[in-house]
Amino acid sequence: MCGIIGICLRDKNQLKLGEALYRGLLRLEYRGYDSAGMAIVESEKLLVLKGKGRLSELESKYGFTKLEGRVGIAHTRWATHGPPSDINAHPHLDCQGLFAIVHNGIIENYLEIKRELLNKGHIFTSETDTEVFSHLVEEYYRQIGDVYKAFKKAVGLIRGTYAILMITPLEPDKIFFAKKDSPLVIGLGENYNLLASDIPALLEHTRRVLVVRDYWVGYVTPSGVYIEELGKDGISNLDQYVRFIEWSLEDASREGYPHFMLKEIYEQPRALGQTLSGLYSDPRVDEAVSLLLNADKIYVTGAGTSFHASEYFALAMAKLTNRLVTPFIASEYEIYENTASNRDVLVVVSQSGETIDALKALRAFRKRGVKAIAVSNVVDSAIPRESDYTVYTRAGPEIGVAATKTFLTQTLTLSYIVLKYGVASGVLRESEFRDILVNHVEPTIKNMDKLIEESNNAVQLLIDKISSSKNMYYLSRGIGVPVAREGALKIKEIAYVHAEAYPAGESKHGPIALVEPGFPVVFIVPNDSELERKLLGNIEEMKARGAFVIGVLYKESNLVAKVDYPVTVESTHWLLTPLTHTPFLQLLAYHLAVKYGYDPDKPRNLAKTVTVE
């Protein structure tokens, strides 16, 4: 959720510290936030500037970019404990103003710790859980007299999730850090080092990174990194953990597009091409398929958009290979974990590889001996590290909060696994597998630029017809249902239109009661003659109540003449419904949000990577 960055310089003339921290925060805006702040060591003291509001507003108020120094930390906060306010913004200080803390996550036992510290005379100024940590370090430093030992002891006492950075004038050339569950990455530079909660914040300075593991604690200096696992000895060979990031700074910038979301929609052809190329050459796909083939039960889980991709995988497996897969929303894992055994496999879908609900589901299933396959976009993130096999999508960085290209690359990856499973299980012949790839998958990806442009044109002609509507339905059947759910989610996320998605046959069991003249209903029509026949009846039901029916369907579909507003796409295999039908739904949400005056990159109350339960 929260965005974190820290920079440690040998010479303050290497970089303008305040400006570099500010730019780093800007690259983390997509994570969602309501307040922000910065702390630097200046003249043997801590200078802290923070407040409620957007970064641009706070820069005008405080002049973040004018700050100079060698060591600093900065933070964007997404409120959990205490409402958005100047006081609750990070960084947080102790009573003496010696220790400045930024934190992503939740300290579950903060009330217990706070009571003890209050009894010892500590004075708190905020409502946050984070502030207890700075006072805890202060208390232990008073007892021990060593900053790092006090920091480690404080980390050892807290329970919950955390990525923590701390600076102090007592050790003016260090940034102390600790990590559990919440993401944290070290960027390695020449005579400077950085820390951040996500890679885009580092790309301006370095592409050599070290992903911090759970229970690691340590510090960076301008020339080095020290890490130990909490309660154990230091880690001597850190080079084995260093990775080179292939993304460029340009990949993580808007490149002339008005919003990241629109840029990422138009990046989908390239992202899909990169993902397919990677799948062709990745031996882990066959290893993952072998694991699935020998499983008693298969489960698949994700959160938000990744759950829609998970549901797609379950439906595709059932329809194409006759294999039952149980999909569940990651936050509901406790309902399912007791049904699993060491003969089963869990597929975990997560763009970031750090989503806390999915991570907790993975860990719960792992405790029961379940094998795990991760599908993720971020190399070496937590979920891939804790899984037996990982199949990576290659979408590149996705900055927009509303997932776009990651959904398409996830469903492409999962469809490829389904096809490989079909061959391995004997349900599909190798020739059928090759036919689908050569005559359907590859041409669809090749024509994606044209499909997106045509979808964009279709949206422009539609937008005024539905812009006064604040309620919508998205309906489909079979493989189209998770695509409908994704469309409804997008328009809720960024245009704030109340939209519900249903299997179309379910719409007459209650939802149809809300339909009145002009009510927009979007039908997702896969290239499946049996589903098309059934959807015709559902379309007629909606039109009989006066609904304005929008159909996303193939050009040869018999239903083109049956809907009020047809959006046609090229014919291809039904397995590729997410690739052909989703771009229109993404663009509809995007352009409606812009028409309403909303920023699609910063939807209210949402964050890109959700690291709290």
The residues carrying an active-site annotation are 2, 608
Q: How far apart, in whole angstroms, are the C-alpha atoms of residue 279 and residue 246?
A: 17
Q: Give me Rg for the CA atoms of the chain.
A: 25
Q: How far apart, in whole angstroms, are the C-alpha atoms of residue 87 and residue 102?
A: 13
The DSSP output letter for 501 is E
Q: How far apart, in whole angstroms, are the C-alpha atoms of residue 59 and residue 7?
A: 18
Q: What share of the chain is helix, strand, coil (3-state, %, to 5)?
A: 45, 20, 35
Q: What are phi and psi of 112, to 5 degrees?
A: -60, -45
| Entry field: residues in the chain | 613
- CA-based angle 455:457:463, to the nearest 5? 95
Write the secondary structure of 301-358 as one string of H (helix), E (strand) and C (coil). EECCHHHHHHHHHHHHHHHHHCCCEEEEEHHHHHHHHHHCCCCCEEEEEECCCCCHHH
Write the secondary structure of 531-592 as one string of H (helix), E (strand) and C (coil). HHHHHHHHHHHHHHCCCEEEEEEECCCCCHHHCCEEEEECCCCHHHHHHHHHHHHHHHHHHH
Of 303, 277, 269, 245, the C-alpha closest to 393 is 277
Q: Over the range 110-132, which residues count as b (16 or more CB within 10 Å of their CB) and which as e?
A: beebbeebeeeebebebebbbbb
DSSP notation for 8-56:
EESSTTSS-HHHHHHHHHHTTGGG--SEEEEEEEETTEEEEEEEES-HH
Q: Residue 483: in which H helix or E strand, if any?
A: helix 481-495
Q: How far apart, in whole angstroms, are the C-alpha atoms of residue 605 and residue 101?
A: 24
Asked whether 164 and 71 are in contact (CB, 8 A), the reply is no
Asked whether 201 and 28 are in contact (CB, 8 A), the reply is yes
DSSP notation for 382-399:
HHHHTSSEEEE-------
The DSSP output letter for 602 is S
Contacts of 9 (CB under 8 A, 6+ apart): 15, 17, 69, 70, 71, 191, 192, 222
Of 149, 308, 320, 295, the C-alpha closest to 218 is 149
Handedness of CA 32, 37, 40, 46 (dihedral sign): negative
Q: How far apart, in whole angstroms, are the C-alpha atoms of residue 356 and residue 350?
A: 10
Q: What are phi and psi of 26, to 5 degrees?
A: -60, -35
Please give the single-letter amino acid code of residue 556: E
Q: Residue 292: in which H helix or E strand, if any?
A: helix 284-293
Please give the single-letter amino acid code of residue 351: Q
